[in-house]
Amino acid sequence: MSLTLTLPDLPPALLTLVLQQPDPDHAVGVAALATRCAPALGLDPVTTYLAGWLHDLGKLAVPQDLLQACRPLTVAERLMVQAHPVEGESLVRKAWPEVPVEIVHAVRHHHERLDGRGYPEGLSSLPVLTMLIGAADVYDALTHDRCYRPAVGVAAAGEVLRDLALSREVVEVVLKCGSLGSSGSRSSCGGRAPLAGQCGGDPVAQ
């Protein structure tokens, strides 16, 4: 499905931050995937695109050597990385005071899970948009090359996503839409760092 979007006029300060974020390709990838999913989930495509585009903005506040680290992170380092959703909310609110609340929620809570084991607040109830951005985030990270591991295929990504504590409907829509998109060739070292194990450690929990 091809969607033509007309984005609102965004504050220049916000656009500057978007252009500076560590992994702009991942941000666009998540935004594009989530937007393809939006009609099936009854979501507004423009709001969905913006939530995906801004979801990792808080990684501007994380030292880049941690985002690019090809080693396990210490507990302190992990906490620094896991602070990025809260930092992202703060950056978005400051740069865009009129930001829709749905976007703010997705930025702050895209790492939350329905079992209460996500972060930053351990929520167990999440709106559809937030779950969509969370699932699209994981899917895009898995299906594109990272500096510490190659991309995985759609089937392997599906196994990971179906194990996430997110709405099955949201996950299945992401897998369906994701299978129609591109994967593999985009390489990035800026978006994730393995939290445990070896250089190829699974990044999706971050």
Per-residue pLDDT tens over the stretch 97-129: 999 999 999 999 999 999 999 999 999 999 999
**What pLDDT was estimated at residue 71?**
83
Ordered by where they begin, the domains of the chain are: 28-188 (1.10.3210.10)
For 149, which DSSP code? B
Under 8 Å between Cβ of 130 and 183: no
β strands within the chain, DSSP E: 144-146, 184-188
Residues in CB range of 182: below 8 A, 6 or more apart: none
The runs of H, that is alpha helices, within 83-120 are 84-95, 101-109
From residue 190, how far is each of 119, 178, 187, 198 by CA, in Å? 20, 21, 9, 18
**What pLDDT was estimated at residue 182?**
55
From residue 123, how far is each of 37, 116, 205 by CA, in Å? 23, 5, 15
| pLDDT of residue 96 exceeding 80 | yes
Per-residue pLDDT tens over the stretch 149-196: 789 999 999 999 999 999 999 999 999 999 886 554 444 544 333 322
* Stretch 128-142: mean pLDDT: 97
| pLDDT of residue 144 exceeding 70 | yes
Per-residue pLDDT tens over the stretch 17-63: 999 999 999 999 999 999 999 999 999 999 999 999 999 999 999 99
